[in-house]
Structure formats: structure tokens, C-alpha cells
Amino acid sequence: MKKALMLGALLIPMTLPMASAAAQTVELCIDEHPHRLQLEIADTFESRARGLMARENLAEHAGMWFKYTSERPANAGFWMYNTLIPLDIAYLDSDMKIVSIITMEPCLSIDPNRCPAYRPGVPYYGAIELNKGYFERFNIGLGRKFKQCQ
């Protein structure tokens, strides 16, 4: 499991043992489109800090939803320390609309300080990580909205 250390406004994860509990998942759709994603929920400090570390692969329509419960938006960056697969991250506003998309590369450096932080440049209330290139491949861009599937 990752643990995070705050340096200024930057969230810096550190490695901890993996949690043994099964991940909670949810199915989200995009706009009125039938496009469905199976997402693990990261809604605690520990699960958000662990993220997708040490995963060797991720199914095509699977990923992680970083949920925050604060009424104030977040502005910290994400990093890829000990993350083995390249990912796209979509930062979401309070209505679940995409406000920024960034591609993040794995960082396998022994020195975590050598891993770049990926900041959205806008406040956000959540983020969704999927395989690198996912948003482009499925024509999902800024302004698109996630919602519970029906």
C-alpha cells in the first residue's frame, strides 16, 4: 500500500504493505453513451495513496476512481512511484465532468524524489485512472461527464 506525505500541496506516496481486503468497485458510464467502466474505488487516505501501485496490467475498461469527500476541491498532483503501467488520469469537477486529462508514465526510480508529479492545473473533486491512451482511443475529452450506469 502507498502512504502519502504532504510536501506543500503535493501528495507524495510512499510504499506500505498491500491491504488484503477486496477492492470496492462501481460501474460508471460516460454522458448518455453506453460506454461502461468497471472502477475500483479509492475513497480512503490509504486506498488513494496506494492507487494502482505494483499492478502489472489493467483490463481494457477497468481503472480506479479516486473519490474525495471534502467540500473543497483538491489541487495536489499525482505521481507514478512504484506504478508499473502507463496511465491516463482524468480530473473531475464537482459534477463529475472532466476538467483535465494527463498521461502519466511509470516511475521505477529507486529515489522517489526523481518521480514527476502530474498536476491538473485546475481544482478537482475526483480523478479516474485508466490505461494510457484510453481517453483518446474512445474519444472521451474535456467536458464529458461520468455518471452511475443504469
CATH number at residue 43: 2.60.120.1140
Res 106 pLDDT > 70 = yes
Alpha helices in 70-143 (DSSP H): 134-137
How confident is residue 83, by pLDDT bands cut at 50, 70 and 90? Answer: very high
Domain that holds residue 129: 2-148
pTM: 0.81
Res 90 pLDDT > 90 = yes
Backbone angles phi, psi at 48, to 5 degrees: -70, -40
Q: How many domains does the chain have?
A: 1
- For the chain, give the mean pLDDT: 82
DSSP 3-state of 110:
coil
Note the pLDDT tens digit of each residue in 14-72: 333 333 345 678 888 887 667 889 999 998 888 888 899 999 999 999 999 999 877 78
